[in-house]
Amino acid sequence: MQPDRSPSTVSCGSRCISLCYHDVLSRNDGSASGFSGADADSYKLDEADFCKHIDAITCAAARHNGTQTKREYAVRLTFDDGGASACRIADILDSYRWQGYFFIPTDYIDRPAFLTRRQILELRSRGHFIGSHGSSHRGRMSSMSREALAREWGASALILSELLGECITTASVPSGYYCRRVAEMAAAAGVKLLFTLEPTSRTHIVDGCMVTGRYALRRHSSAEYAALIAAGKLAPRLRQQVSWTAKKVLKATPFYSRLRRLYFAG
């Protein structure tokens, strides 16, 4: 297992495990970074816990590279929502020589609790990847028209490319509401690597865009659990897949969002 060094490719003969994080907080204040609310807060890790995650993942990588294996796993560390804690996350990643993928919902740039333009430029200058997380972070992308998706991906990519002076070729789907149309319109906006939230290491190509899944880590996830997934162990990955499949059935119903709000309200 090794850190991924390219924004859009994986070395021939290897598979890639992508981990999805959101915000990292130095105190128990969910409003300090990113979106607020019980649901969003369930994805926010305490800084000390996040450091344990990165340490465990790094140690697992070192052990794996010291053994003879038939298949090598590259690892990507991704961060959704563009919360203000991204700069502190980058400090931690830098200390372990990891590169992060930070996905920005561009309507929130310069807002309280979110990254500023200057901070986004700083992240990129430090060698981290910047990608689109759509514009509005509202609604289900899988239910949007092609025209609405074109606005979401196109406007976001344009804002980020003008800010950074380079093409934006990576993106992640907000809240995991994915369908093929989402990838088609991302590809039309120039995206070459699109992350979903389906817990899988498999990839497929849509109009020249590589679509790949991720394994989500939440507030209650242990460092050991993160390391096992990063090492490609089957059991924890299978548990996420089973849970995802069950949720996918529920997401297809009009009651899912209401049930989710009620769950976190309780």
Alpha helix stretches (DSSP H) within the chain: 38-41, 47-65, 86-96, 117-125, 146-164, 180-188, 223-230, 234-251, 256-265
pLDDT computed for residue 7 by the predictor: 56
How many CB atoms lie under 10 A from the CB of residue 29? 12
Contact assessment for residue 153 and residue 171, using Cβ atoms and an 8 Å cutoff: yes
Adjacent-strand bridge partners of 132: 104, 171
Which has the closest alpha carbon to 29: 104, 89, 83, 106?
A: 83
Residue 20's H or E segment, with its range, is: strand 15-21
User: Which amino acid is it at 149?
Assistant: L
Q: Which domains does the chain have, with CATH numbers?
A: 2-265 (3.20.20.370)
How far is 42 from 23, CA to CA, in rounded Å?
Answer: 10
Give the tens place of pLDDT for each residue, 108-143. 999 999 999 999 999 999 999 999 999 999 999 999
pLDDT computed for residue 15 by the predictor: 80
pLDDT computed for residue 26 by the predictor: 86
How far is 250 from 48, CA to CA, in rounded Å?
Answer: 34
Average predicted confidence (pLDDT) for the chain: 89
How far is 81 from 114, CA to CA, in rounded Å?
Answer: 8
Contact assessment for residue 187 and residue 138, using Cβ atoms and an 8 Å cutoff: no
Judge residue 1's burial from the number of C-beta atoms within 10 Å of its C-beta, 0-12 exposed, 13-18 middle, 19 or more buried. Answer: buried
Average confidence (pLDDT) per 10 residues, the chain, 266 residues: 50 73 87 92 96 95 54 85 98 97 98 98 98 96 97 98 98 95 98 97 97 97 97 95 83 60 51
What pTM does this model have?
Answer: 0.89
